[in-house]
Amino acid sequence: MNIYIYDVKKLQVIARPIVNSYGEFRAEPIKFYPEWDVNNHISTEAEFQNPILDSGVIREKTREELILLDNKNELLQDGEYVDENRIVEVKAPSYLFKKLWNKETNLWEEGVTKGEINVEVNKLIDEFTILGEQKERWIKHGFDVLDIENKMAENIIQRNYLLTLGDVK
């Protein structure tokens, strides 16, 4: 098996001796790596892509550490940005039809296209028609139609919102 020896200051692998067991290496590290110095080296059974020393223990950096310490902002998800050395998460507004995160302004925007608006408005009109027919049947048979009316009102609000978007892509 390979053992990975890291330089403590640079956190880079400087040697990969082959041993029978990690215990055997830990018992006599100089036997496998003559330059071994407990103050300058640390050993592990695993090789880390993004190592960090944490209270004398080497481990893989977390996603947050990669972003905040190494400036790997490409790891930020939509709705996240860095401010004063912390990751801020912005929830997307529920009213947006197609949520689009603007990384320059750190704001959510409407990302729907004119074609998508037309498709969705037509779909909502079809749903509204079906709800109207269902409401008539329910009234005819004496059922409560409050839920259907609420769905119809929500449908109108969604359609009106989409139609107010006007000049989109």
pLDDT at 165: 85
How does residue 150 score in pLDDT terms, banded at 50, 70 and 90?
Answer: very high
Residue 142: exposed, middle, or buried by beta-carbon count in 10 A (0-12, 13-18, 19+)?
exposed
Task: State yes or no: pLDDT of 13 exceeds 60.
Answer: yes
164 compared with 78, residue with greater pLDDT: 78
The Cα 58–Cα 38 span in angstroms is: 14
CA 41: distance to chain centroid? 35
The rounded percent of the chain whose pLDDT value lies above 70 is 98
The Cα 101–Cα 59 span in angstroms is: 32
Neighbours of 26 (CB within 10 A): 11
pLDDT at 167: 64
Sign of the Cα pseudo-torsion (41, 42, 45, 46, in order): negative
pLDDT at 97: 87
Sign of the Cα pseudo-torsion (148, 153, 154, 158, in order): positive
Mean of pLDDT values over 45-65 = 95
Task: State yes or no: pLDDT of 11 exceeds 60.
Answer: yes
Task: State yes or no: pLDDT of 169 exceeds 60.
Answer: no
pLDDT at 134: 97
pLDDT at 95: 84
pLDDT at 43: 96
Sign of the Cα pseudo-torsion (151, 153, 158, 162, in order): positive
